[in-house]
Structure formats: structure tokens, C-alpha cells
Amino acid sequence: MSSSDPLIHLSEVKKVFYTDEVETHALSGIHLDIQKGEYLSVAGPSGCGKSTLLSILGLLDTPTDGEYVLNEQAVENLSLSERARIRNREVGFVFQSFNLSRVAADLARRKFEREKETGNRSAGARGHGASGEAFTKPTFGRSTTARGGGARGLRPTKHPASR
């Protein structure tokens, strides 16, 4: 792989889920290039296609249409065992607050209840509800070459460390 070839290349990637009555367009015309060493965060509202995109990037699902090239190899030609090997050795995800927001919210709620009982409410306990909203981290970064989107606007952004 030359230094100018992207590690991950998506071109016109689409994903449609079909049922007997409904056709759901989860991704529509995604274009994305990620160079080796870059970090990427994916942000957007619920239902916009973030998980679908990550499932495709992680070789857990395949696009309905379009091209996905990983490390100069077309993904559509990979067998199930080759996909599993690549997933186990080469692909990794870091999920922001995946199951941690509930744990953090429970800890904050317990701290708040203890401080309420003792009358020693610290400034750090104020405003923390049981829903975990105080623990949601913002996304940051600049826009990538990604174009297209899901049903309501997928916004991939590059992490500041990859600038």
C-alpha cells in the first residue's frame, strides 16, 4: 500500500434493509477515505446509520451497493473466514460510553444520594441526573472527505490527533 492509498475506501456505499412491507434506506451514497494512522469519530442522531456504517466497516455486514476497499482489497470478494480473520487481527473500535454511561449515572446518583443524606452536597454532584447526560462526551474534529449520509445526516469527523 502506497502512502497515498487510503487504508479504508468507501465509494457510493448504500445499505437497504428489506422486509415484506418496508424498504429502509440506512445508508445512501457514502464516500469515505481513511488513511493509515487516522482516527475517526462518527456522530449523528439516533437512526442516522452510524451503527450500520460501523457494522460494514467492521466486516459484520455487507453493503447493498457500492465499493468497500480495505487495505487495497475489495471486501466483497472476502470469504466469511477471511472476514473473521481480519476482524480478529486488524479491525478495532473504541465505543464512547457504550455501557459506561449507565454505570457512571448510577455512581453519580449514589454519590448524590449519599451527599443528600449527609447534607454535604458538593458542587460536583449538582446537575447530575440518573440518565447519565452529564457523562456524555462531545465529539470533536474536522470534517472528513465523507459525503452522503443516512436517513438523518451521518457526520463522520476526524479526531484532532489525526490532523
150 with 73, same domain? yes
Residues 13 and 59 in one domain: yes
Look at residue 115 and tell me if it is in a domain: yes
Determine the structural domain holding residue 128 and report its residue range. 100-134
CA–CA separation, 151 and 134 (whole Å): 27
- In the chain, the number of structural domains is 2
Same domain for 29 and 77? yes
Percentage of the chain with pLDDT > 90? 38
Same domain? For 69 and 148 the reply is yes
- Residue 156 — pLDDT band, cuts 50, 70, 90? low
Q: What strands, in cross-sheet order, belong to the sheet with 142-143?
A: 40-43, 155-158, 142-143
| Contact (CB, 8 A) for 91 and 59 | yes
Query: Does some domain include residue 3?
Result: no
* pLDDT higher at 146 or 26: 26
Residue of higher predicted confidence among 22 and 158: 22
